[in-house]
């Protein structure tokens, strides 16, 4: 695989991951569910309504 192909694959994977995370945040906001995140070496729950992802309030 060439370097250009690797970069293209990486960019595609990153875009897919961002879209998946955005979908999870939207679903959690819609259902009023907290999000579990890793913070300072621990898992913590945060309110989805406090999370902003690419224009989602």
pLDDT for residue 41: 97
pLDDT for residue 48: 85
The structural domain count of the chain equals 1
- 27 part of a folded domain: yes
Residue 40 belongs to what domain range? Answer: 3-50
- 35 part of a folded domain: yes
- 20 part of a folded domain: yes
CB 54 within 8 A of CB 38: no
How do residues 3-48 score in pLDDT, each as one tens digit?
A: 999 999 999 999 999 999 899 999 999 999 999 999 999 999 999 8
pLDDT for residue 32: 92
CB 13 within 8 A of CB 20: no
- 44 part of a folded domain: yes
- 57 part of a folded domain: no
- Token pair of 30 as six digits: 């819609």
């Amino acid at each position: 695989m060439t370097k250009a192909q690797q970069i293209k694959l990486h960019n595609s994977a990153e875009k897919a991951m961002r879209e998946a995370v955005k979908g999870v945040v939207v679903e959690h906001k819609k259902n009023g569910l907290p999000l579990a995140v890793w913070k300072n070496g621990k898992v913590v729950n945060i309110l989805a309504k406090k999370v902003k992802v690419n224009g989602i309030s």
